Amino acid sequence: MAVKVTKRFPTDEDILELTANMRQLDIDEIKAVTNLGTLDCVVASVRNSEKHCCFAVFADGVLVCIYGCSVVGNPWLLVTNAMDSHVLNLTRRTKRIVRMMSKRWPILSNYVDVRNKMTIRWLKTIGFTFTETIEIKPGFPVIRFEMVRDEHTLPDTA
């Protein structure tokens, strides 16, 4: 049976649901890169994202993730534990979303916690490369991921 995937701009309820059901890897990553609490981080991420690039994603009515891209081209994704059941289906969709983001920003980049091996593998699968490892907060190394627009993702000039 096909999974029905829907998306919408995140509501306050979606943000609260994500925070209550967030995957531990994402909670740990928030601690590694910010001094904000989990809820404040999600609110700030949504607030700082381009409206046409920020969505809550549901599979059969269950919140799977919220993603976005900041106004300067920093893509982000925070997921619930429900993602484990839908990762293959959503990876195909994510590739299309990243191509769309590449039309808006010539470079997409952000950081991922080096302990988050699953997300690093997933980012490689959708086409990101990795550069420097730094510590935004002492004791929490993160690695920069990026995607540079190439001739295949140039925006339409018409």
- Which pLDDT tens digit goes with each residue over 29-45? 998 889 999 999 999 99
Chain centroid to Cα 77, Å, comes to 2
- 5-148: CATH topology: Aminopeptidase (3.40.630)
* 80-109 pLDDT, tens digit each: 988 877 666 677 778 888 888 988 999 999
* 3-class secondary-structure state, position 132: strand
Could you identify the residue written with the tokens 């730094």?
A: 134
Contact 149, 100 (CB under 8 A): no
3-class secondary-structure state, position 125: helix
Residues 43 and 33: beta-carbon distance below 8 Å: no
Sign, Cα dihedral of 96, 57, 87, 25: positive
Q: Look at residue 155 in the predicted model and tell me its pLDDT.
A: 47
β-strands 55-59, 62-69 pairing: antiparallel
Report d(CA 97, CA 100) in Å as an integer.
5
Are 67 and 21 a contacting pair, CB within 8 Å? no
Residue 11: which residues within 8 A CB-CB, separation 6 or more? Answer: 56
Q: For the chain, how big is the Rg over CA atoms in Å? A: 15
Reduced to 3 states (helix: H, G, I; strand: E, B; else coil), residue 28 is helix
- What's the pLDDT score for residue 141? 92
Query: Average of pLDDT values for 102-123?
Result: 91
Q: Domain boundaries in the chain?
A: 5-148
The Cα 62–Cα 128 span in angstroms is: 27
According to the model, what pLDDT value does residue 92 have?
A: 73
